[in-house]
Each structure stands twice: as structure tokens, then as C-alpha cells.
Amino acid sequence: MKRFFQHLLLLTRFELADAVRSRRAIVILLLYLAAALLSTNAFVTALQKLETQLGEILQTGSGSPGAMADTLWKSARFRHMIGALIGDRTVAEGLMSVPPIALLYGFLAFFYTPFFVLLTATPRVAGDVWTGAARFVLFRTSRAAWVLGKFFGQAALVLLALALSMAGAWCLARCRLEGMDGAAAARGMALMAGKAWIFSLPFLGLALGLSQLVRSPNVANALGFLAWLGTGALALMAKHFAGDGVRVLWDLVLMLVPQGYQLDLWRMDVGSVATASVFLIALAAAYLAAGFAVFVRRDQ
């Protein structure tokens, strides 16, 4: 067992080193950073235009950029809009304590992180099998350690990418919104980045699970894209059709997709977030194990 964990640590480090050596890490980091910067810049621009228009209507000066954000954030109409967007008014009320720029970052991170994970992680096992590189590694270690090493290496890379995207979005917002509370925004964005990372883990497990089923990285990428669409569609259908009687089966479907736990991650109480995190990690392990059950029986 000690040897297994030693191999796991080495393989995790090797996965990160390989990402840096092949420049995949740079591409992934830039992908997350670009998504965060573009979305944050668009939000700040829209907010400043709104403030200018309100200032003209009310015949008052707009003041420092972002000065009206807190007022808009506390308005009843805006709260109602957030509640409709979240789908739960209680959760929306709890989110009112989060700075608007942090909440925007959270919304976008929850949206693009699963897609980026499935886009970049699905070829990781299939690619090495395709090139034959897997044979040289599996001669020295077990398949379980190799697959887990890839999982933890990719998880660390996603965490680093989210941290970079958060820092970039904060710096941009801090420069353009003079009235922003920098410390509160940083805390809120760090919280949202952490939750987005937890939310990404089952998608990472799904990506590597699918990657173990095929030998071609291109096929793995196609399966990853279909999985992103499929889990989203299943979650929407389950939420729409769930109910009493036989419709209760849709609740079971919701338990089997990561999106079913997203609402609990949005909650601000520790208990709900911890429970959702446990289920999401278990889901990641289940997806990964399902692919491994096929991979362990294959000849490489």
C-alpha cells in the first residue's frame, strides 16, 4: 500500500510536469484566464453603461465607477431576478451577502469549467494508449495508480487555472471599478472558485472514465462533448418532470448527474456545501471506477 501511494504521488507529479513540458498547461491556464477576463470586462462595461444612463435619467453624476452597484444589488427587483435565475428564493437571499462581481464570477466559472474539463481531460488516457506511451508507464506501475495519478494531476491543474482566472478577474474589476470593496470581492471570488473546483471533480471523473473506454483521443473528445450536453439535458429534464408517483424516478436521475448538486453548492451554510461536496466526490469516483472496470480488462 505504501508503494502504491508513492507511485500515485510520482504519477501525479509526472502528469503536471508533462502538462508543462507539452505546453498543455499554458493553453489550459490561458483558456480559463481569457474566459474570466472577457466575461468580467463585459459585465463591468455593461454596469458602467447602466450607471451612466441612470445618472442621465436622474440628472445626477455617476460618481466613481461601480458606485451604484450596491444599490442595484439590494433592490427588490434585482433580488427577484437573481431568485428566478437560481431557481430558489432562499438560496438567492443568502447570495445577497456576496459582492456582485464575485457572484458573476461564480456563475461563469460554474458554466465554463465543466466544459473546459471535458474538453481538455478526455484525451488524457486515450491519448497515451493511442501513442503507445501507456505501455512504458504500465510496465512499472499499476493501472489504478496510473489512472488516479492522471485524475489528481488534472484536478491540481484545474485548481491552478481557477485560481489564476479568479486573480485576473479581480485585478480587472479592481482597476475598472474604483468603488469596489477589494477585500470583500477577493473573499467572495475565492469562495466561488473553490466551489467551482469541487463542482468540476465529477466532470473530471467522467472525462477520464470515458477516456478509458476508447483508444482514440478524438473519439474521447467527441464523447466528452456529448457528455457535457447529455448531463445538462438530463438535469433540465429531471428538474422539469420530477414530481409525485412514478415521476419520483427523475429525482434518482438528478442524483446521478453533477448538476443535481449545484444548487446546494450555491448555499452559504457549511452543512449544505459539505454534503454536496461529499456526493460530488463520490460521483467522481463512480464515474472513474466505471471506466476503470473496462480499462483494467483491456490489452494495451
- Cβ-in-10-Å burial (0-12, 13-18, 19+) of 146 comes to buried
Give the model's pLDDT for residue 102: 87
Give the model's pLDDT for residue 174: 86
Give the model's pLDDT for residue 259: 92
Give the model's pLDDT for residue 171: 92
CB atoms inside a 10 Å sphere around CB 60: 10
Question: With DSSP H G I counted as helix, E B as strand and the rest as coil, what are the percentages for the chain, rounded to 5?
Answer: 85, 0, 15
Q: DSSP label at 181?
A: -
Give the model's pLDDT for residue 203: 97
Long-range contacts of 290-294 (CB under 8 A, 24+ apart): 290/209, 291/208, 291/209, 291/210, 291/211, 291/212, 291/213, 292/143, 292/144, 292/147, 292/209, 292/212, 294/212, 294/213
Instruction: List C-alpha distances in Å: 287 to 34, 52, 204, 224, 242.
Output: 29, 49, 9, 13, 24
Give the model's pLDDT for residue 112: 92
Give the model's pLDDT for residue 50: 67
Give the model's pLDDT for residue 242: 78
One pLDDT digit (tens) per residue for the chain, 300 residues: 778 888 888 889 988 888 888 888 899 999 999 999 998 888 888 777 766 665 555 554 455 555 555 556 656 666 666 666 666 677 777 777 788 888 889 989 999 999 999 999 999 999 988 988 888 888 888 899 999 999 999 999 999 999 999 999 999 988 887 777 788 889 999 999 999 999 999 999 999 999 999 989 999 999 999 999 999 999 999 888 877 777 788 888 889 999 999 989 988 889 999 999 999 999 999 999 999 999 988 766
Report whether 147 contacts 9 (CB < 8 A): no
Q: Is the pTM of this model over 0.85?
A: yes
How far apart (Å, rounded) are the C-alpha atoms in residues 110 and 293? 29
Identify the sign of the CA torsion 118, 153, 199, 183. Answer: negative
